[in-house]
Amino acid sequence: MPRKVALLIGVSEYGEGIPPLSAPPNDVAAMKRVLENHQMGQFDEVETLIDPELVQMTKAIQKLFKSCGKDDLVLLFFSGHGITDDDNKLYLATRLTAKDDFEATAVPASFVQQQSKNSYAKRQAIILDCCYSGAFAEGWQTKSVGIDFKKELGAEGRVVLTSSTATQPSYQQEDLSLSLYTQYLVEGIETGAADKDGNGKIYAQELHEYAKTKVREVKPKMEPGIILDKEGFNILLSLAPVNNPELKFRQEVEKYAGRGEISKRAGEILKVKQREFRLSDEKAEEIIHSVLEPFHQRLVNLNRYKDEYRKEVQRQYPLDEATANELKDWQLFVLGFRDEDVVDIQQQVIAEIVNKDENDEIDLFEFEVVKVNIKGEIEKKKKQRVRYFTEDLGNDVKLDMVCIPGGTFTMGSPETEKESLDSERPQHQVTIKPFFMGKNTVTQAQWKVVANLPKVNLDLNSDPSRFKGANRPVECVSWYDAVEFCARLSRHTGKTYRLPSESEWEYACRAGTTTPFSFGETITSELANYNGNYTYGSGPKGKDRQETTPVGSFPPNTFGIYDMHGNVWEWCADHWHDNYQAAPSDETIWLTRDERSARLLRGGSWLNDPVNCRSAFRVRFVAGGRGNYIGFRVVCLVAWTL
């Protein structure tokens, strides 16, 4: 007779240098409750192990896998600290594990893998709720296969569910008894909500997807993962109620709670559904609260970040490097937010506080930002406000300069980014001080006014562009021409204008995003001016305009900067380097000793494929070169930026 056997390990106490955790014993108790339940997990044997030392833990793991037959289902659950060495090998900490001796006192993931491999059991599930649990994939034999839900007893194979990636910490929730990932694993089983197809069975992949979705609603930075062998994610882990009124009502609530709140209309609909399912007011409220709880947790953490960021900006702006780095680490490792999750808050706080000074030159403008899905379809729009000032160039020509808040970002592209290049790597962290950047590339009207100012170093053609139009970008300008423009503008205004450094340019282009484009995973010709005969990713084909368009014709990014993708290439101040080895970790202009070195262009143009318009794409170009696809924008450093 096939058996279902589980070993649940929770480690809360550790040796020197490793902080204790309160959640693991509670995680174990909660998992035991749902696995032993005869209407849910239906496990025959569930052994628990709390705060074991090394030998006790390895023997228990060995016994679990060794004692099971080929038709048995084996489940190993671990909640506690995971530690990785310099080679990214994962260790599961025991009660005696200390910071300086973990390799000798913790259980290596390779041991678990070997025991799993040697086991006769054809159905194995391993659940790791620990920091860096994704590192378990090292050495794991994986393959990608489709899901077959027709297999009633679950497929043969192994599956590993991890609460985080190989480079991420997992999260213990403040003021809550369970770890975040475990909380939603248990909820998915206990409520039946993980049974998305309503067949009364919860498979490993279903359970993981449910928990992953809920976890990311709370902490978007966290990336639970699934590692599989053969058809491991088809393994049947639990039963779920069929035609259960509470589950049906929960599904209705989830349908209307996508934005983290229930509208008045949705509330009225749910009242009707509540009566239809014959639920009490108390039970309906309990279910609504449960569904909205991840969104509420996220809102609480966003408000925490806003309060801390406001406090620091009130004390000092721009933030010093130590404070900025500390806030960044807190944002990532405690609150679990990506940069794009907090950029709106930063802009809002800066606008509220810094704009209260007595400088009347600073103003605010409002605009709409769009985000697209992988097919290029707009899935989100939001209003945004940023600070800016206007430089009056004379002759009724003005130059709008937008305040770019300081911050830290990851520069370059990962190897996983489609059609990325080695010249865009290695990725590295860069901290940028606040600065002002042109809302648009320099227009032909702006160029003409400045080109008629007194010469600083070289002559300028006041009308170099091929595609004529006062509000079109100036093009056919060399790097030297752009530098001369900045020199004349600086002398005329008394402020310091220059070309952006490459790191400033990419920081402003990304505007807090990590996707290939500031709009998302792809772009369309409705969002930027490029050769729409070509596509990127799953994006659609579009228009090939074969010329420049007036600046500001397309939506801006979150910083309020227009046309960072396409229209014209933009000169940066730096010399060209083949890659980012030894690149600056701040906004420094990266130069070589040879002034004759090539310069670089960013952003793509009307002439190029969308791949060339990615935030990370960079191209080498001779400093004296010109083309009807090359322009530039300026940045400004002024005292009242601070």
pLDDT score of 567 more than 90 = yes
Q: What percent of the chain has pLDDT over 70?
A: 91
Q: What is the pLDDT of residues 321-361, one digit of tens each?
A: 788 888 988 988 888 888 888 888 887 787 777 555 444 46
The Cα 424–Cα 608 span in angstroms is 18
Q: What is the pLDDT of residues 160-182, one digit of tens each?
A: 888 886 555 655 555 568 999 99
Q: What is the pLDDT of residues 267-318, one digit of tens each?
A: 999 999 999 999 999 999 999 998 898 888 888 889 999 999 988 888 877 7
Contact between 437 and 561 under an 8 Å Cβ cutoff? The reply is: yes
Give me the pLDDT at residue 551, please: 98
Measured N-to-C along each axis, helices 264-276 and 245-256 cross at an angle, to the nearest 10 degrees, of 170
pLDDT score of 142 more than 50 = no
Give me the pLDDT at residue 598, please: 93
Q: How long, in residues, is the chain? A: 642
- Mean pLDDT computed over every residue of the chain: 89
pLDDT score of 604 more than 80 = yes
The Cα 489–Cα 455 span in angstroms is 10
Q: What is the pLDDT of residues 417-438, one digit of tens each?
A: 999 999 999 999 999 988 999 9
Give me the pLDDT at residue 478, please: 97
Distances (CA, A) of 577 to 61, 585, 600, 619: 51, 15, 9, 10
The two structure tokens encoding residue 492: 């005329």
Give me the pLDDT at residue 7, please: 98
Candidates 373, 360, 384, 625; CA nearest to 523 is: 373
Q: Which residue has the tokens 């050495």?
A: 139
Sign of the C-alpha dihedral computed for residues 602, 504, 380 and 196 taken in this order: positive
pLDDT score of 244 more than 60 = yes
Average pLDDT for 95-116: 92
Q: What is the pLDDT of residues 513-522, one digit of tens each?
A: 999 999 999 9
Q: What is the pLDDT of residues 448-465, one digit of tens each?
A: 999 999 999 999 999 999
Contact between 100 and 31 under an 8 Å Cβ cutoff? The reply is: no
Give me the pLDDT at residue 324, please: 84
Give me the pLDDT at residue 153, please: 29
Candidates 203, 220, 304, 294; CA nearest to 253 is: 294
**Higher pLDDT, residue 581 or 365:** 581
* Stretch(es) of the chain classified as CATH 3.90.1580.10: 386-641
Beta sheet of 397-404, edge-to-edge order: 363-372, 378-394, 397-404, 435-438, 635-637, 496-498
How many C-beta atoms lie closer than 10 Å to residue 463's C-beta? Answer: 11
Measured in degrees and rounded to the nearest 5, phi and psi for residue 595 equal -65, -10
Average pLDDT for 248-275: 89
**Higher pLDDT, residue 326 or 638:** 326
User: Residue 534 class from Cβ within 10 Å (0-12 exposed, 13-18 middle, 19+ buried)?
Assistant: middle
Q: Which residue has the tokens 């990336």?
A: 223
Q: Among 21-25, 170-174, 377-381, 536-540, which stretch is predicted with the lowest mean pLDDT?
A: 170-174
Give me the pLDDT at residue 419, please: 96
Give me the pLDDT at residue 297, please: 86
* Stretch(es) of the chain classified as CATH 3.40.50.1460: 4-239
CATH code for the domain defined by 386-641: 3.90.1580.10
Contact between 547 and 575 under an 8 Å Cβ cutoff? The reply is: no
Measured in degrees and rounded to the nearest 5, phi and psi for residue 16 equal -60, 135
Residues 6+ apart with CB under 8 A from 468: 444
Give me the pLDDT at residue 174, please: 55
pLDDT score of 232 more than 70 = no
Average pLDDT for 524-533: 97
The Cα 162–Cα 225 span in angstroms is 5
Q: Which CATH architecture has domain 4-239?
A: 3-Layer(aba) Sandwich (3.40)
